[in-house]
Structure 1
């Protein structure tokens, strides 16, 4: 930076210089100031440029500096290029609208020469305008003008049809015009002078989508011809998308290929599905194979793997539709699903071809899986009927064994049509999964799927073949045994659990199907109980098989009672053998099987109680037996808490028995619970002297005192209040003697309430004999006395509280 210039001052003189000399000095001073100003302006320009470069390298500030007068500075909402493009687009649209209006409205006012002049001159001028615009660097303006020119060429084609080719068909002329426009726009886009424009080639590609389709419509082609035109156009678009490097052209070609190719493929698939004969099916298959070729070609050339996989999946599904549709047209209707399934399984051959790209092989595998999954879905209704249909025998048990398994399984449910090949479908997919499980990363899921499909196959074979009723039950029993054996022998991850679940489900279906005949109802639960009990030897299976065995044993007990003609309350007694067996098994079983066994035994006990509920004497016996079973289980150290349940069951049994004897005295119900409770409390106090008297004696005393007190207040005789008052007095004295809160407080409270009950009639008589003003006066005197001696009464209350607090 230049050094600053020292400002010169006028010398101090004792005299004034002449005017000429003073003017010379002033001019020299002004020249120095001008030079200094120039230096400062140059330095300022350099600093401004440096600051602008630094600001461009930094991210934008989050907030702007407030503008003058409290208003923020104006914000730029659109850059110059964006504004330019919008203006050019609007201008092109307006000119296009004007041209359309001129062509449609003012065209008839011109003669032949005028029309030719307008058509040729305006279009040529507009299409030539982008050349100088590109030369001057006005690319956006050139694009807008070229778009206007393309719109004018479309209007020229329309005008030409109205003038010279009015007799030509609209669709045929439109096809030719679209082809000519596509060729012309392509030539315009590749010319050296206009090659820099981005619009011509995508516009030509868009126009190229129409000629074949319009030609097919003009020729009166049916759906097959239209689908062929669409697929051929899609093939051309695919070729352009794979070979052209311009992004705009590639995007337009991909869009056209997907739109027209998808339309054509869907049309061909619909033609294949609705084909009435081999000839129509073959024509639809040819169209589908054309679509397959397009998709495979694109899948092998596309760089993106996910897109390639998607195209390969589409190719695989279209191939299955082509071949399967041809086979379907020549086979009976019931073989439609197996035909498509065979084609889907055949796709797996492509997975073994190492020369194919990895995305293509992966897409073939996914397409095959999709076809197999859809085929399996067609068998799902049959499996649901085989499982849930036997439940229809529950409301009409023992109504007679049907002749065949189909009637036993369906039980009034409509049988699906074309169900004869469903077992073949599930069996084939099961084999495929079993073979695929050998070399796949999802081995566990493949094995589970294979096992489930094999089970479904065996489950639906008897109703499909309509074997005899007994044979169908034997198949279900053998299937259950086989699944239990597979669960015991299999060590693969997840397969034992799957086999166990399927075994339980099958056993339920067998039990319901056996309800049709009395012998089967007795035999089926017996066999199932034996099977699940034998499987419970394996500790891995016992958490499921042991409860299942107990459940089937419960069903066997109920069936045996019903077959013997017993009443429900009498059937409850053999049902109690199940909770007894559950308690015995739980005592010898460890691990996770103990709790499921106990829960199942408890459920069987509740069922027995419910069956015995209509007969109180039998119910009392059942409750007592449940108490015995629970007491036996409470002998185990980890089930001590069941002792409370056992005591409750014994008490309930005694109450039910008393109710059956028409006993109404509450003491007959409460004393059997009070005496054991007091004994238990005394034993606890002996082992733990610090235990509270409320915990040890409170529940037992309250169980008798409170119901007896309620009965005494409603009793008009003198015996119950006398006995209750004597017992309460004795408890109060014992509580005071041994310093126990519970007997003292409960006994004293009951004693006071009994005394009030006995004195109540006399108090009422005295109250009626006294004047009406005496009770309020007595209440007032009492309040005055308490108020006068409030401090003393408060100390008395505190003393009583301390005495009670010191008691146990």
Structure 2
């Protein structure tokens, strides 16, 4: 029994055979052309064309017959359709009046009917692209027919009302036409586009209110959702989804504006009903939508539900209480976790809930910021006396009467975060989400307490005590936690809270001392018991910084000036030096010592206005650096720093004492330091010349250079230049960096000082064009020998690097 393949399979076989025959014919034609060329020009003896390989021949035989490029075809069809459309519009608008009414009707009827029938014939002849182009022209002609019908048959009717009826008729006609000719892809999407206008035009025609327009748009969006959910073909569904998004969002925006601007509860009921219907439409559209579209639909539906339910009671309340109402409605959206809804829709609704909560928290955030940083803006000054209440210490940073609900808002948000952490592990199985919820609970709870202190105008002492307790709780949580988001959040909140408590305590002297000492002890104790080294280092640095505040406060209480207080601040640096020597963990010891170095910088800043005290502070810093250099792991940095500090202390002391001949003081010290460095280098040649000879040379040469620049006589610059030359030559001979660099620098600066007056005279004598010309010649010379100069510089750098 012979097998008869189905038509599709038989068509594929025929295409395969035809392609194979075409490939064979092409091969034979190529061979024939070569033979003809050989016969016509025998002397040239061209090479025969390379025959196709069996593999390429097989590929050619298997490939279907390719039609001309579809891009070119589509461009031609689009241009043709566009020209026909322009011609039809021109005929309707400009040539219409030259014919009678019977002729006009006959022409339009014949052209439109022909354009509508032609696609069916073209589809039957296997020309789908041409059929699509003609169908688009036909659809345009139907629009022109509607315009002509209004101009001829009903010129006195309202244009908007006629447009509403005409658009509805076009929707029906295009839908029927697209259903009958199912192979056409354009009529049904065009019908969806036309469907956006009937209800809007109707509302416009009847002069509907804003609510009526919103309802018309919402019903249109609902129809689009239905088409998008059950429509035929991706083009129809995409067009319907696009229309639903546009009309739905405009409708919901109008409803939200009407709800927020309602005068009372009765005025908010209508917009609430509109928003409720919009939420239903959004969720219905998201129910069957894919992926991201479903999530966005859930977000829109959730936000619309919050605006609908919350807008009615919020219309009768002040705005700060209306925020709380919306927050509670947003929190109620979390009930979606207990419903059986598609997971993308659930995540969208939860995203809407989170957005509402985040908006409410942002509204309350300025109250917390004012409670923390408000004392810095109070113009009364430091230690002006304890204020009567918390608001007096904070100042009028925010309108407190409009922020009464801020603590409640933050407390509700904290409760939601806590519930997410404790009760919904199945919905959020990842541990990271639960830890993030716990961190959010800590932050929001801390902010709620601060906002409560502000809005209730708590007594000053109570506010200071409560802020200290909050810092203690946060540091205790951070010390007990591992390295996670909750620990980081608690540390950050504790540091910010400590700053706020310190600013608040500046209003009264006893409060300043009590708070700063309490913070030092609190951070130190928490650092001692913390489980994570990173947390321990941060808390240790915070304790050191608070210690700086303690010493500054003590100096101010004793009536000392800033320079007199500077040595007291160095006690903090001394404590970090001792602490760093005892700590066994480098990741904790190094940050603490760096914080102590910052305290030393603060001390230098305090003493910079008094020369003798600056010299004293520099010397004490040198002592502390020397003590740090006793440890082998700090010797490379602290040793050189100690020498530089001692030298700087000597310079400052000489300058503060008004010494005009510093060599009498510095030279003996330089000789002794040079001898010590020489002995040390003979015993251990490993240290560089900067450590062995740098302090000794700089002790005398730098102050002498400073004095020489202001000395009008010639003897000091001469002696300094001779000494610098000797040091430079010795450094070059012994291949030592410190003598070479220091001696060369001092020699160059001393020579520049001596030549400066003559150079100025020479430049005054030169014409103005001479300096630019000399500079140009120098640039040309350097450019011409650029590569050689690079090689010379590289050799100098390598030679300098080999020095000690």
* Structure 1 residue 200 displacement after superposition: 3.6
* Corresponding residue to 1:356 among 341, 357, 361: 341
Question: Counterpart of 1:89?
Answer: 81
* Corresponding residue to 1:455 among 442, 446, 460: 446
Name structure 2 gaps, 5 residues minimum: 1-21, 31-50, 748-803
Mapped pair 1:384 → 2:380: no
Question: Counterpart of 1:224?
Answer: 211
Question: Counterpart of 2:620?
Answer: 625
Question: Counterpart of 2:147?
Answer: 158
Aligned 1:93-492 pairs, distance under 5 A: 93-101=85-93, 104-106=96-98, 110-111=100-101, 113-114=102-103, 117-118=106-107, 120=109, 123-124=112-113, 126-191=115-180, 194=181, 196-302=183-289, 304-353=290-339, 355-393=340-378, 396-409=381-394, 411-415=395-399, 418-438=402-422, 439=425, 440=428, 441=430, 442-491=433-482
Looking at structure 1, the residues matched to 681 and 468 of structure 2 have their Cα atoms a distance apart, in angstroms, of 58
Query: How many residues are paired up?
Result: 678
Cα pair distance change 1:464/1:48, threshold 3 Å:
farther
> Is this contact kept in 1: 2:89–2:144, CA < 8 A?
no
Cα pair distance change 1:290/1:594, threshold 3 Å:
same
**1:415-473 CA distances to partner (integer Å, 9 max, x unpaired)?**
36632212222222222222223423222322222222222222222112211222211
Aligned 1:555-574 pairs, distance under 5 A: 555-574=549-568
Looking at structure 2, the residues matched to 43 and 633 of structure 1 have their Cα atoms a distance apart, in angstroms, of 92
Question: Counterpart of 2:604?
Answer: 609
Cα pair distance change 1:596/1:673, threshold 3 Å:
farther
Compare 602-611 and 474-483 and name the one that shifted more. 602-611
Question: Counterpart of 1:5?
Answer: none
Looking at structure 2, the residues matched to 576 and 407 of structure 1 have their Cα atoms a distance apart, in angstroms, of 35
> Is this contact kept in 2: 1:570–1:618, CA < 8 A?
yes
* Corresponding residue to 2:677 among 681, 687, 698: 681
**1:211-258 CA distances to partner (integer Å, 9 max, x unpaired)?**
211111111111111111111122122212222223443333233222
Looking at structure 2, the residues matched to 448 and 338 of structure 1 have their Cα atoms a distance apart, in angstroms, of 22
Looking at structure 2, the residues matched to 662 and 235 of structure 1 have their Cα atoms a distance apart, in angstroms, of 91
Question: Counterpart of 2:789?
Answer: none
> Is this contact kept in 2: 1:693–1:741, CA < 8 A?
no
* Corresponding residue to 1:529 among 520, 524, 528: 520
Cα pair distance change 1:394/1:245, threshold 3 Å:
same
> Is this contact kept in 2: 1:651–1:672, CA < 8 A?
no
Compare 433-442 and 77-86 and name the one that shifted more. 77-86
> Is this contact kept in 2: 1:376–1:426, CA < 8 A?
yes
> Is this contact kept in 2: 1:510–1:524, CA < 8 A?
yes
> Is this contact kept in 2: 1:654–1:669, CA < 8 A?
no
> Is this contact kept in 1: 2:171–2:194, CA < 8 A?
yes
Give the alignment's TM-score, normalised by structure 1: 0.74
Looking at structure 2, the residues matched to 48 and 206 of structure 1 have their Cα atoms a distance apart, in angstroms, of 54
> Is this contact kept in 1: 2:647–2:699, CA < 8 A?
no
Query: 2:412 is paired with a residue of what secondary structure?
Result: helix
Looking at structure 1, the residues matched to 113 and 707 of structure 2 have their Cα atoms a distance apart, in angstroms, of 117
Aligned 1:532-547 pairs, distance under 5 A: 532-539=523-530, 540=532, 541-547=535-541
Higher alpha-carbon Rg: 1
Mapped pair 1:496 → 2:467: no
Cα pair distance change 1:150/1:623, threshold 3 Å:
closer
* Structure 1 residue 705 displacement after superposition: 7.5
Query: 2:315 is paired with a residue of what secondary structure?
Result: helix
> Is this contact kept in 1: 2:603–2:617, CA < 8 A?
yes
Cα pair distance change 1:698/1:257, threshold 3 Å:
closer
Compare 426-435 and 316-325 and name the one that shifted more. 426-435
Cα pair distance change 1:668/1:549, threshold 3 Å:
farther
> Is this contact kept in 2: 1:655–1:669, CA < 8 A?
no
Looking at structure 1, the residues matched to 213 and 389 of structure 2 have their Cα atoms a distance apart, in angstroms, of 52
Cα pair distance change 1:96/1:55, threshold 3 Å:
farther
* Structure 1 residue 348 displacement after superposition: 0.9
* Structure 1 residue 196 displacement after superposition: 4.5
> Is this contact kept in 2: 1:685–1:691, CA < 8 A?
yes
Looking at structure 2, the residues matched to 697 and 145 of structure 1 have their Cα atoms a distance apart, in angstroms, of 96
Give the alignment's TM-score, normalised by structure 2: 0.74
Q: CA RMSD in A?
A: 4.2
Question: Counterpart of 1:576?
Answer: 570
Compare 571-580 and 366-375 and name the one that shifted more. 571-580
Cα pair distance change 1:47/1:324, threshold 3 Å:
farther
